[in-house]
Amino acid sequence: MESEDELVAEHGFPAALESGLAVATISLIIASLLGGPLAKLLIERNHIVVPGTSPDNGELPPEADAAPIDKMGVMRAMLAVNVAVILGYLAHAWLTEATGVNLPLFVPCLIMGILLSNTVPLIFPRLHWPAHTAALELVSSYALSIFLAMSLMSMQLWTLAGSAAALFIIVAAQTVVAAAYIYFVVFPALGRDYQAAVLSGGFTGLSLGSTPTAIASMSAITRRYGPSPTAFVLLPLVSAFFVDIVNVGAISLFLRL
């Protein structure tokens, strides 16, 4: 994928980084606000009975959100994240040197996290791997907040004065199209059940924001209504692996055009 300097030199787009950050940040905010309400609309309008809740009130039991968080749990979660990141760095370096494919760095890190979470508990059941724990969710929420804050703080909005109107129009059109596509295509195609509603909320975060936003949206939905483990396996695989591989070729193609 081409760097900012290459975009400036070859395509005459000096505000490439600022424009990208502006659109991405605005879209992240919209995705964070839209994912949960859209999933709620799908669940309530289609009268979906959520697993583990009462059909009468749709509420989770009071004790469902009482998972304890202690310092050892947080330290285990941070250790697991760092191990996944280190292995991701090594995998990224190997992929770049061996195949010449320059994937975004977070992709191999995320893949390593998925592999570790699905293999370590089976191989070392007494290791207390922190997958699906409140401590890991705390670390995840904190990291997402830092990501959003860094994106906002690094923006140079004054460079976008001439294209602000066009950017807002593009983001607004993308929001309308994405919401309609999710409501009329994605949700029916996935089966119109609770898992489809959770994935639809996550797809809102993915189509308008990023994988972390999608995970945050699905976490908020499942925290309110109930668990959907398969959704948390499917969406990261699609959004962080297949989509980014396609993006490398798609962005290069559009730049050439």
* 122 shares its domain with 74: yes
* 257 shares its domain with 170: yes
Rounded mean pLDDT, 145-160: 67
* 31 shares its domain with 106: no
Cβ contact 205:214 at 8 Å: yes
* 182 shares its domain with 213: yes
What does the pLDDT read at residue 198? 92
Gap between the Cα atoms of 81 and 130, Å rounded:
10
Gap between the Cα atoms of 83 and 15, Å rounded:
36
* 175 shares its domain with 204: yes
pLDDT above 50 (res 4)? no
* 106 shares its domain with 50: no
Give a yes or no: residue 127 inside a domain: yes
Give a yes or no: residue 61 inside a domain: no
Q: Tell me the per-residue pLDDT of 90-133, one tens digit each, with 9 for 90 and over.
A: 998 998 888 877 777 877 888 888 889 888 888 888 888 887 78
* 50 shares its domain with 74: no
Give a yes or no: residue 214 inside a domain: yes
Rounded mean pLDDT, 170-190: 91
Give a yes or no: residue 80 inside a domain: yes
Domain count, the chain: 2
Last residue of a domain, one of 76, 109, 132: 132
Give a yes or no: residue 3 inside a domain: yes
Query: Which residue range(s) make up the domain with 98?
Result: 68-132
Gap between the Cα atoms of 161 and 159, Å rounded:
6
The most confident of the ranges 60-69, 183-192, 198-207, 221-230 is: 183-192
Give a yes or no: residue 144 inside a domain: no
* 248 shares its domain with 175: yes
Q: Tell me the per-residue pLDDT of 60-82, one tens digit each, with 9 for 90 and over.
A: 444 444 457 788 888 989 999 99
Q: How would you class 89 by CB atoms within 10 Å of its CB: exposed for 0-12, middle for 13-18, buried for 19 or more?
A: middle
* 128 shares its domain with 170: no
Using a pLDDT cut of 90, give the percent of the chain over it. Answer: 17
* 29 shares its domain with 75: no
Task: Write the CB contacts of 23 (distance below 8 Å, at least 6 apart in sequence).
Answer: 167, 170, 171
Give a yes or no: residue 199 inside a domain: yes
